[in-house]
Chains A and B, each alone.
Chain A
Amino acid sequence: MSEAQAQSPLKSPDCAAWLDEHGDYLYKYAIFRLRDETAAEDVVQETFLAALKAYEKFEGRGSERTWLVGIMKHKITDHFRRVAREAPIGEGEGEGPEHNELFEQSGQWTGHWNADHAPTDWHATPAELIERTDFWRVFTDCLSPLPQRTASVFTLREVDGLKSDEICEILNISANNLWVMLHRARLHLRNCLEINWFKRPER
């Protein structure tokens, strides 16, 4: 910020301090949802720029951080919209792995769980899991092999709790498409978490 700007009668925030105070927070919020460093940095930048333009409207009502997160939510949605527009579905990526190996492929029990891959008791509750930082590392790693769009659908639905039709509208996909992607994401993530977290003896 230039000297003239700092002394301007229009109360604009001290950008450097602003970034120091909220930058990491916003970045963590974004990276958890986008899983892409460049995209997360871009969204943080767009959020601060939009906030700077709208600063007069904020007028110190409520918490600055809550206000910034509110702006960022829109910027993340815009990001998903843009990606969906630039790379329409059906070009190069599928919905995700089918994981047929989890089920019997022949014999009288074809299509039923293979005993080696069948779900087991997790002995866990959301309240315990949310406290475990290392659980979120495994969670993020488990999402990473999924196609970007499938992981995005999962995050919008299961982390942000958007409604199915809102997600279809943002990503420009059909309901059927959404169901397939969510199913593939859940099947993969559940299995991956079971192997890498719930069955690990030392967790």
Chain B
Amino acid sequence: MADNAYDKLKHSIRYWLLRKLPTCQQTVEKISQSMERRLTLRERIDLKLHLWICAWCQWYLEHLQIIRDTARAKGAEPPDLNSASASALSSEARERIKRKLAGES
């Protein structure tokens, strides 16, 4: 019984907070901005509370972090020359650059 009452209370608080706080659509924009600037105190509190009750926005934040970490790791490593999907310099472009270099040297 006690558990049940506790769950009900938790649910009510969560519901009340979700109605009071900025929406998910507003929150994801703040999540993105938090990666670019220091949020104001009010923004930080709203964001923390929203993330506390919203698993979807928690995933969103985690995904942006995964995208950033993966893209930066990729940017720091040498291009994969063996991958078939990535294109190579076309033979026309290669010839054009060769002629240009020969002309300049």
Contact = CB atoms under 8 A, between A and B. Distances in A.
A53 to B, nearest CB: 8
Interface in B78-101: 78-81, 83-90, 93-94, 96-98, 100-101
A178 B69 CA distance: 20
Given A28-B88, A164-B36, A186 B64 contact: yes
B84 to A, nearest CB: 8
Contacts, number: 162
A24 to B, nearest CB: 4
B81 A28 contact: yes
Interface stretch (A40-48, A77-85, A86-94, A144-152): A40-48
Interface in B36-64: 36-37, 56-57, 59-60, 62-64
A199 interface: no
A126 interface: yes
B97 A16 contact: no
Contacts of B12: none
B23 A158 contact: no
A129 B67 CA distance: 10
Contacts of B67: 158, 186, 189-190, 193
Interface residues of B, number: 52
Interface string A51-66: 0110000000000000
Nearest to B63: A190
Nearest to B87: A31
B56 A118 contact: yes
Interface of B: 18, 23-26, 28-29, 32-33, 35-37, 56-57, 59-60, 62-64, 66-75, 77-81, 83-90, 93-94, 96-98, 100-102, 104-105
Interface of A: 1-2, 5, 12, 15-16, 18-19, 23-25, 27-29, 31-32, 37, 41, 44-45, 48-49, 52-53, 100, 102-103, 110-113, 118-122, 124-127, 129-130, 133-134, 136-137, 139, 158-161, 164, 175, 178-179, 182-183, 186-187, 189-190, 193-194
